[in-house]
């Protein structure tokens, strides 16, 4: 199943989401994101929604655009952020300086060596962190992608992709 076929399954109450799903997966000159970056963000975001049909549809479309390394990186970003977003959201929300200073002791080597350009992996991680609601991670990944040359419009585009895919998963569940 493709994203277009999945889009057709969205009922009338999700008309806005159906229309947004078409637009966010297209290049937008103001964002500066490449098609590969758009589909990498979309794939990592689809994994973060945990919705099987959405994951399969985005994988189907992304497989014609992304390399195996980029697909692997999207999977890695969704997986490592599933751990990090919980851990760092906890340390942030606990408001306990002593907890924040403790060594994390969790393996996260993929962040340092994702197998694709670092800025792309960070962009995937930003989108997943937005879905998972980790403010500390959102702040860190935003700074990193900006430093890597992604514009504010590019950051917004990535988060819009995450938002629309999350809403798509919700609409499909309803």
Domains and CATH numbers, the chain: 3-173 (1.20.1290.10)
Residue 43 token pair: 């794939």
Which among 165, 161, 168 is positioned nearest to 26, based on CA atoms?
161
Catalytic residue among 77, 137, 138, 169: 137
Predicted structure pTM score: 0.96
Task: Say whether 134 is catalytic.
Answer: yes
The burial class, CB within 10 Å (0-12 / 13-18 / 19+), for 150 is: buried
pLDDT in tens, the chain (174 residues): 999 999 999 999 999 999 999 999 999 999 999 999 999 999 999 999 999 999 999 999 999 999 999 999 999 999 999 999 999 999 999 999 999 999 999 999 999 999 999 999 999 999 999 999 999 999 999 999 999 999 999 999 999 999 999 999 999 999
3 is catalytic: no
Catalytic-role residue among 54, 58, 134, 159: 134
């Amino acid at each position: 199943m493709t994203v277009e076929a999945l889009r057709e399954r969205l009922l009338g109450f999700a008309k806005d989401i159906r229309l947004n799903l078409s637009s966010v997966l297209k290049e937008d000159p103001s964002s500066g994101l490449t098609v590969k970056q758009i589909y990498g963000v979309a794939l990592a975001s689809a994994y973060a929604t945990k919705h099987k049909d959405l994951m399969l549809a985005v994988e189907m479309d992304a497989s014609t655009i992304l390399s195996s390394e980029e697909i692997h990186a999207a999977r890695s970003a969704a997986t490592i952020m599933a751990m990090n977003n919980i851990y760092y959201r906890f340390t942030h929300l606990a408001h306990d300086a002593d907890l924040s200073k403790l060594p994390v002791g969790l393996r996260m080597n993929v962040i340092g060596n994702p197998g694709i350009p670092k800025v792309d992996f960070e962009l995937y991680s930003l989108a997943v962190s937005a879905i998972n609601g980790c403010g500390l991670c959102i702040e860190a990944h935003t700074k990193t992608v900006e430093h890597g040359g992604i514009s504010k419009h590019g950051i917004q585009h990535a988060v819009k992709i995450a938002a629309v895919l999350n809403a798509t998963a919700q609409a499909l569940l309803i």
